Amino acid sequence: MKTINEYKHMALADQVLMPALLAVVLGLSGCQQEEGSAEKAGQKIDRAYEKGEKKIEQSRIDATQKLEAAKESLDQQADRTTQYIEESTEASKEALEKAGDEIEQTTEAAGQELERAKEAAIDRAQTAGEYIDDSVISLKVKAALVNDPMLQASQIEVTTVNGIVKLSGTVGSQQDVDRALEIAVNQQYVKSVQSDLIVKTAPSAE
Range of the domain at 137: 129-199
Residue 133 lies in a domain: yes
Q: How many domains does the chain have?
A: 1
Mean pLDDT, all residues of the chain: 78
97: confidence class by pLDDT, cuts 50, 70, 90: confident
Residue 148 and residue 183 in contact, taking contact as beta carbons nearer than 8 Å? yes
Residue 78 lies in a domain: no
Residue 92 lies in a domain: no
Domain with residue 172: its CATH number is 3.30.1340.30
Answer yes or no: pTM beyond 0.75: no
59 vs 125, higher pLDDT: 59
Look at the alpha carbons of 92, 98, 102, 103 in this order and tell me if their dihedral is positive or negative: positive
Q: Please say if the pLDDT value at position 36 is more than 70.
A: no
Q: Please say if the pLDDT value at position 100 is more than 90.
A: no
Residue 158 lies in a domain: yes
- Beta strands 155-161 and 192-199, pairing class: unpaired
Ranges 36-40, 75-79, 195-199: which has the least confidence: 36-40
Residues 9-27 as b or e (16 or more Cβ within 10 Å = b): eeeeeeeeeeeeeeeeeee
In the chain, what are the helix, strand and coil shares in percent, each to the nearest 5?
75, 10, 10
pLDDT digits (tens, 9 = 90+) for 73-90: 888 888 888 888 888 888
Residue 183 lies in a domain: yes
